[in-house]
A and B are shown apart, each in its own frame.
Chain A
Amino acid sequence: MPEPDYQPGYSQDPMTSREVLAWFEAGRLPSDGALKHLQKLDSRITDGRSSIRAPSQESRRKRIDSVLHELDGLVGLHDVKNMVHEIRAYVDVQQRRLELGLASEPQTLHMVFSGAPGTGKTTVARILGRLFQTMDVLPKGHMLEVERADLVGEYIGHTAQKTRDAVKRALGGVMFVDEAYALARGGEKDFGKEAIDTLVKAMEDHRGEFLLILAGYSDEMAWFLATNPGLLSRFPLHLHFPDYGASELAAIARIMLAERQYQLSADADRQLTEYLVRSEGHWHVNSGNARLVRNLIEGAIRRQSVRLIRRLDMATREELMTLTWADVEGGL
């Protein structure tokens, strides 16, 4: 099972009462310091005295904005981004209503992500974990990525235990079940069914304590939810991750190259874009996504090395950075 990648920030003051208590428990705050912070952050006191509350509210806003900024920086995913902005607004308004004593909807925010591998599902799930952490919906905001093998065991009772253990590790953050439909693969007698039941029970027992995201190919997820009607009602939010279009794939290629300190020659850039446009709509399932681009550029980088090795001593910095169309084309 992949490890949660959560890194607590050890720099500033605690932002929420929950954070104060977590820091106190971790031995990072003395008793009197913890009480001071609790007093400062207590909404029963600071309501109506905005001067005290303003700084922490403002930095909370800043932190939320910086997470959303990261989301908005992702290539494409227009509808997904809109949906996340809506969710954020909804959570904020419900929290404010609660503070003012108005009826507020319970926040069940479990989600289904549908889309091919490499369309940004994991990345967005991770960002959501951080978003909900800064918004005080989830205390930790880490992400636990699991698949069938991590939840399903070999004998009766084993599955429930494995699934419960996974849930325990996900508490306070996001549990991302990749290819979730695989849980229903074996039919009624399969242990996958037990994993589903255990997850459903955990959603009741740990209401509001973790966010469950079921992810997978669109068609398979639609089938999965249709054959498990009990699940559908528990996942109010459905986000669809479409395959990337040609220009989006080209943009992803440029970003991935820049991260690695490479670039396409002007010719290679033009030809790659033309190639992607030509092939748009003709991808076989699963290749109209970021993975295709990654394989392509990693292949191109290897071919560039082979091309340069013979005259490496003479290669300029510019040449070492630049991929030509021949480098790219070799992988198509």
Chain B
Amino acid sequence: MEALVVGKPNVGKSLFVLNFASYLGLREIRLEAVGSDGRVLVRRLSLEDAKRKLVSHNAHKTMAAQGIDVEIAAGRTPRRLTIVDTVGISEGIHHMAEIRQAMASTLARLGTADIVLHLIDSSRIGHKTIEAPGAVDEEIASYARQLGPYIILANKIDKPGSADALSQLREHYRGTPVIPVSALTRRGFREVKSFVLRHMS
């Protein structure tokens, strides 16, 4: 079972994936990344090291999809869930071929994911920064909601002004569940877990 975490750059995907995996009980992160030559690289890292590697203020710190396997108790039998952190999708046409290629792999994976978790930076509505909600979010929503289990995670809800932002997002994406989360404080993780569990059978 694969849960794909997507969204614009800098919305908090990497931090979410790592903290959510640790919330589900994972202590050591086993990162699997497919390099450009098609080989799968596996690294074992502590949660903290993984954060240093993958989380950043700068866009496109994550340059390849990263899968993290966790065991999750669904009913009586533990089941394997792979949470996949992806390369953020920016608006427009990126000027670097390398990044376009990395983003294309995210787009390709959308078509095969079992569950799609779409992160939006709720603290940046109406801004012009790279992580601000925009056309890319509209299109991800319109595509992913037709593919299968899909939710929007309104991230960075710990930041000021979030209540207003949440109601705006819910209004805008009516018909799709919008769960307020904070990748930083782990708020909302219980709801995300139960959403994932519901769709794991």
Given A25-B101, A32-B91, A42 contacting B139 (CB threshold 8 A): no
Q: Is A17 an interface residue (CB 8 A)?
A: yes
CB distance from B38 to the nearest CB of A (A): 9
Q: Is B110 an interface residue (CB 8 A)?
A: yes
Which residue from chain B places its CB closest to the CB of A22 in the assembled complex? B104
Q: Is A21 an interface residue (CB 8 A)?
A: yes
User: Could you tell me the distance between the alpha carbons of A31 and B37 in the complex, rounded to whole angstroms?
Assistant: 24
Q: Is A29 an interface residue (CB 8 A)?
A: yes
Q: Are A32 and B136 in contact (CB under 8 A)?
A: yes
Q: Is A38 an interface residue (CB 8 A)?
A: yes
Segment touching A, from B57-65, B92-100, B158-166, B188-196: B92-100
Total number of A-B contacts with CB less than 8 angstroms?
Answer: 69
Identify which of B107, B136, B148 contacts A24 (C-beta below 8 A): B107
Given A21-B108, A30-B91, A35 contacting B143 (CB threshold 8 A): yes
Q: Which residues of B contact A39 (CB under 8 A)?
A: 139, 142-143, 146
Q: Which residues of B contact A38 (CB under 8 A)?
A: 107, 110-111, 143
Q: Is A45 an interface residue (CB 8 A)?
A: yes
Given A30-B91, A32-B138, A42 contacting B143 (CB threshold 8 A): yes
Given A24-B104, A35-B140, A39-B142, A44 contacting B111 (CB threshold 8 A): yes
Q: Is B45 an interface residue (CB 8 A)?
A: no
Q: What 1/0 mask marks residues of chain A from 79 to 94 whose CB sits below 8 Å from any chain B CB?
A: 0000000000000000
CB distance from A95 to the nearest CB of B (A): 16
User: Could you tell me the distance between the alpha carbons of A26 and B96 in the complex, rounded to whole angstroms?
Assistant: 10
Which residue from chain B places its CB closest to the CB of A36 in the assembled complex? B139
Q: Which residues of A contact B136 (CB under 8 A)?
A: 31-32, 35
Q: Is A73 an interface residue (CB 8 A)?
A: no
Q: Is A137 an interface residue (CB 8 A)?
A: no
User: Could you tell me the distance between the alpha carbons of A29 and B104 in the complex, rounded to whole angstroms?
Assistant: 11
Q: Is A186 an interface residue (CB 8 A)?
A: no
User: Could you tell me the distance between the alpha carbons of A20 and B139 in the complex, rounded to whole angstroms?
Assistant: 15
User: Could you tell me the distance between the alpha carbons of A29 and B101 in the complex, rounded to whole angstroms?
Assistant: 12
Q: Which residues of B contact A29 (CB under 8 A)?
A: 93
Q: Are B97 and A32 in contact (CB under 8 A)?
A: no
Given A31-B90, A38-B111, A25 contacting B143 (CB threshold 8 A): no
User: Could you tell me the distance between the alpha carbons of A26 and B94 in the complex, rounded to whole angstroms?
Assistant: 10
CB distance from B104 to the nearest CB of A (A): 5
Q: What 1/0 mask marks residues of chain A from 42 to 74 whose CB sits below 8 Å from any chain B CB?
A: 101100000000000000000000000000000
Q: Which residues of B contact A25 (CB under 8 A)?
A: 97, 100-101, 104
Q: Are B107 and A34 in contact (CB under 8 A)?
A: yes
Greatest chain B CB density within 10 A among A32, A36, A44, A45 is at: A32
Q: What 1/0 mask marks residues of chain A from 145 to 166 whose CB sits below 8 Å from any chain B CB?
A: 0000000000000000000000
CB distance from A137 to the nearest CB of B (A): 18
Q: Which of A1-41 contact B (CB under 8 A)?
A: 17, 20-21, 24-32, 34-36, 38-39
User: Could you tell me the distance between the alpha carbons of A20 and B107 in the complex, rounded to whole angstroms?
Assistant: 10
User: Could you tell me the distance between the alpha carbons of A258 and B177 in the complex, rounded to whole angstroms?
Assistant: 67
Q: Are B143 and A24 in contact (CB under 8 A)?
A: no
Q: Are A27 and B143 in contact (CB under 8 A)?
A: no
Q: What 1/0 mask marks residues of chain B from 124 to 141 whose CB sits below 8 Å from any chain A CB?
A: 000000000001101110
Q: Is B40 an interface residue (CB 8 A)?
A: no
Q: Are B147 and A21 in contact (CB under 8 A)?
A: no
Q: Which residues of B contact A45 (CB under 8 A)?
A: 143, 146-147
Given A24-B104, A25-B101, A45-B146, A31 contacting B111 (CB threshold 8 A): no
User: Could you tell me the distance between the alpha carbons of A214 and B49 in the complex, rounded to whole angstroms?
Assistant: 51
Q: 6 new A-B pairs (CB below 8 Å) besides A25-B101, A30-B91?
A: A29-B93, A30-B93, A31-B139, A35-B143, A42-B111, A45-B143
A-B contact pairs, 6 of them (CB 8 A): A17-B108, A17-B111, A25-B101, A26-B100, A32-B136, A34-B107
